[in-house]
Amino acid sequence: MNYVEHFKSKIDELKQEHRYRIFANLARTAGSFPRATYCDPDSGLMRQVDVWCSNDYLGMGQNDLVLRAIESALRECGAGAGGTRNISGTNKYHVELEKELASLHEKESALLFTSGYVANQAALSTLPRLIPDCVILSDGHNHASMIEGIRHSGCEKIIFRHNDLDHLERSLQAIPFARPKIIAFESVYSMDGDVSPVSAICDLAQSYGAITYLDEVHAVGMYGRRGAGVAERDGCMNRVTLIEGTLGKAYGVMGGYVAGSAPLIDALRSFAPSFIFTTAIPPYLAAGAIVSIKHLMKSSTERELQHQRAAELKDSLRVACLPVMPSTSHIVPVLVGDAVRCRRASDMLLETHQIYIQPINYPTVERGKERLRITPTPCHTKSDIDRLVAALLDVWRALELEFNNAIWTGAAAAAQ
């Protein structure tokens, strides 16, 4: 076999389907977020751009308290953890961070992983395997890391229609009551920005003898009185069996975790290969995460401003008749509906308007649902929003993209 030609043809397939990913070379500068320096791959020229698609949702990646904690722990402990958690890699910062995470979610215990992806993959492949005859009910829009974990568990999987309580209940009814079941779902779905009915899913779990696994990756830090997520906001955190989260988004650092009862977490610690056989996160990251979590437990300023900015942006897009999708969270998706023009819209924003928004194409979203996924932060200003909406209008006209005609005849049309 000609291996090189084989892989080239695989890449060509991706390119033909407009699924080939191009990474923008963006230098983040602490203190300037959401501004970043973009390096043009052809000319090598650098220019400042506004980033509108970062998952550093609250700008905690440049928070001074977090940076100081990281600097100090880096000097104190050095660069790496020095081993797996089992072989000399456990440091006081890991231990303290796990206590902090357990306390955040009001659970007995928590376990750290190198990322949210690994946490999902590890938990959802390991726990079901430890439960004889287990069946997993998985929301149809669950993240790739959850799907991967469930697949590796080897357990029977039933996919219920996204956020569809009736379908979930019918699926539960079809399984004998005594058979062990796990309902795996997310709180905030990151591509549509919709939110699941956590409490109602817990009701169903209780009625049908299931346990619940909730991914709060796009909610921790941003929802609930102390930033513990949607389950905290909805007053049902104690009813969720396992809560999974990330330290890499609203907390601005890196790493993932699962929080739950002590025996469940101990089982994961003991049986999950992707926890045991990998180097622990560096102590300085754990130190930064502790400070970030503690800060957001006390301060609501960042999340309140973030929600305000998201509401302002959604309003401005609607007034401009741009097709903002019906999100109920801080995530603001704008529908393009075509892979080529989605890429082109992103390129035009960058080249002409110094605005960076990653195009979201298949397989991350269905074909025909390609979009720009915008994530306003407390660091974006009102005038940043005005500039963004003007730039989007320009791009929409240039590419002859569809406006939201339902309100197109209104005030915004007159302003054209």
Query: Interface residues for ligand PLP in 176-215 (CB under 6 A)?
Result: 186, 190, 215
Output the smallest distance, CB 146 to ligand PLP, in A.
7
Query: Interface residues for ligand PLP in 67-96 (CB under 6 A)?
Result: none
d(CA 232, CA 66): 24
- DSSP annotation of 61 reads G
- Is 157 among the catalytic positions? no
Residue 217 contacts ligand PLP per CB under 6 A: yes
Output the smallest distance, CB 139 to ligand PLP, in A.
11
- 184 CB contacts (<8 Å, ≥6 apart)? 124, 136, 137, 138, 139, 142, 146, 150, 212, 213, 215
Instruction: Please state the φ and ψ torsions of residue 13, each to the nearest 5 degrees.
Output: -60, -45
CA 372 and chain centroid, separation: 15
Residue 143 contacts ligand PLP per CB under 6 A: yes
User: Closer to ligand PLP at the Cβ: 246 or 375?
Assistant: 246
Output the smallest distance, CB 365 to ligand PLP, in A.
12
Residue 378 contacts ligand PLP per CB under 6 A: no
Binding mask 5-24 for ligand PLP (x = CB under 6 A): --------------------
User: Closer to ligand PLP at the Cβ: 89 or 248?
Assistant: 248
Q: Which of 193, 227, 229, 256 binds ligand PLP (CB under 6 A)?
A: 256
Residue 232 contacts ligand PLP per CB under 6 A: no
Q: Which residue number is nearest to ligand PLP in terms of Cβ? A: 116
* Three-state DSSP class for residue 206: helix
User: Closer to ligand PLP at the Cβ: 98 or 186?
Assistant: 186
Output the smallest distance, CB 120 to ligand PLP, in A.
5
Output the smallest distance, CB 149 to ligand PLP, in A.
10
As beta bridge partners, residue 371 has: 335, 360
Among 60-68, 110-118, 222-230, 263-271, the segment contacting ligand PLP (CB under 6 A): 110-118
* Strand arrangement, sheet containing 242-246: 109-113, 256-260, 242-246, 210-215, 181-186, 135-139, 156-160
Of these residues, 107, 181, 249, 369, which one is catalytic?
A: 249
CA 14 and chain centroid, separation: 24
- 405 CB contacts (<8 Å, ≥6 apart)? 321
Q: Which of 63, 90, 91, 115 binds ligand PLP (CB under 6 A)?
A: 115
User: Closer to ligand PLP at the Cβ: 217 or 240?
Assistant: 217
d(CA 113, CA 47): 36
Alpha helices by DSSP H, 135-178 = 144-153, 165-173
Residue 333 contacts ligand PLP per CB under 6 A: no
Residue 120 contacts ligand PLP per CB under 6 A: yes
Computed on alpha carbons and rounded to an integer, the radius of gyration of the chain in Å comes to 22
d(CA 124, CA 147): 8
User: Closer to ligand PLP at the Cβ: 224 or 229?
Assistant: 229
Cβ density class 34-50: b for 16+ within 10 Å, e for less? bebebeeeeeeeeeebb
Output the smallest distance, CB 367 to ligand PLP, in A.
20
Length of the chain: 416
Residues known to be catalytic: 249
Judged by the rule CB under 6 A, the positions of this chain that interact with ligand PLP are 115-117, 120, 143, 145, 186, 190, 215, 217-218, 246, 248, 256
